[in-house]
């Protein structure tokens, strides 16, 4: 079997991991993924050699026991080496072959896949300026995704302030996407790039908000994506069209079905 360019450890499935897998599909790179369902990741040793722990290895006195900080409330078992490679201690966590170099942040893992490709596929642009423009979209997408993460983790304790902040962030992000797609068929020009991949995966993940309509209504609030895709038709058409192409569909599967049928009404 071909040697993997990267090994990724994460909870699975994870749209942040799909970014790397979609790029890998498009540029012929082999990526190895290991992990488990979100609720089982606290039972794993977080390491380059990640593995499920025996019950007796999972105790507060373990040298690897750490307090979960973002999205995990339980004790997590991260080795010192994991935290050297991944100073923020987050997943998805990617490693170079052999584990010497940790690559964190899903958009950076996405870039690492494109850089590992043997042939020039154009996913990360064709020169430094094009790559920088793609980086601009990746940064804007991360800003949106961070707001979305805070919001989605707070769905059970939503406040009007946080809800308003999310609506503003969504509108700001999608306004830019809409404008860019008015000038070109893909976010960064005439061809698909890393910018489109990150956009699809992060927006698809955010659309899970719609599953929490009941929770938000109990708090006297509506869903932040109410009124979409009328407000941003090009952005949503781009999302659903790309999601149906083979490299995306292989990983997203029916993930967007709930949003597609609701939004089409």
Ligand X SMILES: N[C@@H](CCC(=O)N[C@@H](CS)C(=O)NCC(=O)O)C(=O)O
Report the interface residues with ligand X, using CB under 6 A.
16, 68-72, 76, 89-92, 105-106
Residue among 174 and 201 whose Cβ is closer to ligand X: 201
Residue among 106 and 167 whose Cβ is closer to ligand X: 106
Least gap, CB of 106 to ligand X (angstroms): 3
Residue among 79 and 262 whose Cβ is closer to ligand X: 79
Least gap, CB of 90 to ligand X (angstroms): 3
Least gap, CB of 179 to ligand X (angstroms): 24
* Angle at the Cα of 86 from the Cα atoms of 9 and 46, rounded to 5 degrees: 40
Residue among 71 and 87 whose Cβ is closer to ligand X: 71
Query: Can you tell me the distance from the alpha carbon of 115 to that of 175, in angstroms, rounded to the nearest whole number?
Result: 30
Query: Can you tell me the distance from the alpha carbon of 151 to that of 163, in angstroms, rounded to the nearest whole number?
Result: 7
| Greatest C-alpha distance within the chain | 59
Which contiguous run of DSSP H or E holds residue 258?
helix 257-263
Least gap, CB of 198 to ligand X (angstroms): 9
Query: Can you tell me the distance from the alpha carbon of 163 to that of 76, in angstroms, rounded to the nearest whole number?
Result: 30
Residue among 30 and 70 whose Cβ is closer to ligand X: 70
119 close to 27: Cβ distance less than 8 angstroms: yes
Residue 64, Cβ neighbours under 10 Å: how many? 18
Least gap, CB of 46 to ligand X (angstroms): 9
Query: Can you tell me the distance from the alpha carbon of 216 to that of 89, in angstroms, rounded to the nearest whole number?
Result: 31
Query: Can you tell me the distance from the alpha carbon of 109 to that of 31, in angstroms, rounded to the nearest whole number?
Result: 11
């Amino acid at each position: 079997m071909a040697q993997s360019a990267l090994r990724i450890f994460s909870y699975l499935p994870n749209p942040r991991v799909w970014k790397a897998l979609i790029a890998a599909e498009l540029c012929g790179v082999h990526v190895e993924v290991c992990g488990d369902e979100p609720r089982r990741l606290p039972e794993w040793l977080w390491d380059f050699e990640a593995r499920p722990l025996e019950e007796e290895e999972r105790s507060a006195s373990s040298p690897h026991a750490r307090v979960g900080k973002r999205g995990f409330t339980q004790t997590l078992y991260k080795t010192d080496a994991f935290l050297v490679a991944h100073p923020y201690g987050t997943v998805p966590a990617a490693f170079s072959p052999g584990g010497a170099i940790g690559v964190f942040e899903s958009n950076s893992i996405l870039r690492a896949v494109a850089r590992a490709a043997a042939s020039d596929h154009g996913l990360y642009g064709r020169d430094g300026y094009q790559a920088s423009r793609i980086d601009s979209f990746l940064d804007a997408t991360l800003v949106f995704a961070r707001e979305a993460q805070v919001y989605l983790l707070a769905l059970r304790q939503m406040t009007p302030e946080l809800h308003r902040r999310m609506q503003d962030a969504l509108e700001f992000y999608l306004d830019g996407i809409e404008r860019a797609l008015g000038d070109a068929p893909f976010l960064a020009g005439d061809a698909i790039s890393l910018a489109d991949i990150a956009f699809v995966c992060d927006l698809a993940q955010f659309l899970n908000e719609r599953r929490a309509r009941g929770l938000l209504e109990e708090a006297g609030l509506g869903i932040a994506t109410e009124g979409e895709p009328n407000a941003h038709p090009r952005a949503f058409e781009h999302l659903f069209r790309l999601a149906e192409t083979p490299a995306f569909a292989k990983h997203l599967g029916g993930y967007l079905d709930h949003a597609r049928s609701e939004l089409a009404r």
